[in-house]
Amino acid sequence: MSKHVSILLWNVWMLPWKLSDNQTVARATHIAPILQDYDIVILNEAFTHKDLLTSSTTSIMSFHTLGRRAWYSIFDSGVVIISKYPCVHCVSQHFSAVTHWDMMASKGIILCRLDIAGTEVGVYGTHMQAGDRPVDQDARRAQALQVAEFINRHSEGRKVVLGGDLNMGPTRDPSFASWCVHYSNEADARSRVTAYCALRDEAKLTDVFSTDERTRAKSEEDIMRFLVRDVEAELTYLDVPVIEGVGKRGLSDSDALVCKLRL
């Protein structure tokens, strides 16, 4: 009998208040109860208020994150994995190549190997290099290969799920007459798509696209992504709620995605 598992991916935009909207406490308080509705959660940009974000899940879910690169790092990775299933092995790695504003954060990749009803599944969470400058492109390409190598080294024939804000993705238009809204120009689009394909192909991963025709096209080039290996999966987008009474402000500046696995 197959088992269905839900994974929420959300860039929650929990930057220090001067870098976001000065509503991080209110947003974290409203986000927290949403997280408990899913079996596994991957968060990006959870730089602050982790205690609030996990306040509704600590009794039923385990919590894993990647800390600061060094004592002088301003932020940790902002990547968090929360799971209702037991984690039998957890390992993480900071990116070797990082540049510009991303040097303030300790970005990298986390693996939580979960025991899901007797099946071990490697759940990987990451947040990769932003920006469109040549140095950003170089760092992102290096990170893509590092992520692929990390997954291959630790997967050992197990099922794999990778989720995160990759700041790159596939393209719907191989001619690059058009490109994803997150890219600044054709050269930027080409570079990011090339790096993305290198990660996907080196790690032998498969894209997960939306099953809803209204969001299918978006999912085919979005930078918030799920990729899998040896597991059936489908994708949906979650409507991001608003905070009533705070100007009906969105809980984040990014979409929330739900990947449904069939094991």
Contact criterion met (CB below 8 Å) for 114 and 87: yes
Checking DSSP bridges between strand 4-11 and strand 40-44, what pairing results, if any? parallel
How do residues 79-131 score in pLDDT, each as one tens digit?
999 999 999 999 999 999 999 888 888 899 999 999 999 999 999 999 999 99
Locus of tokens 């993705």: 169
Q: Is the pLDDT of residue 66 over 80?
A: no
Per residue in 179-213, pLDDT (tens digit) is: 999 999 999 999 999 999 999 999 999 999 999 99
- Nearest alpha-carbon partner for 74 in 102, 53, 43, 109: 102
- The pLDDT tens digits for 13-26 are 998 767 778 888 98
When divided into structural domains, the chain yields a total of 1
Q: Please, what is the angle between helix 134-155 and helix 186-202, to 10°? A: 10
- The predicted model scores a pTM of 0.94
Please give the backbone phi and psi of residue 92, each rounded to the nearest 5 degrees, phi first.
-145, 165
Confidence of residue 239 (pLDDT cuts 50, 70, 90): confident
Q: Which residues constitute the domain of residue 161? A: 4-262
Look at residues 14, 126, 31 and name the one whose alpha carbon lies nearest to residue 80: 126
Residues 6+ apart with CB under 8 A from 169: 180, 192, 193, 196, 221, 222, 223, 225
d(CA 20, CA 13): 7
Q: What is the CATH number of the domain that holds 74?
A: 3.60.10.10
Going across the sheet that includes 62-65, the strands are 62-65, 80-83, 40-44, 4-11, 256-262, 232-238
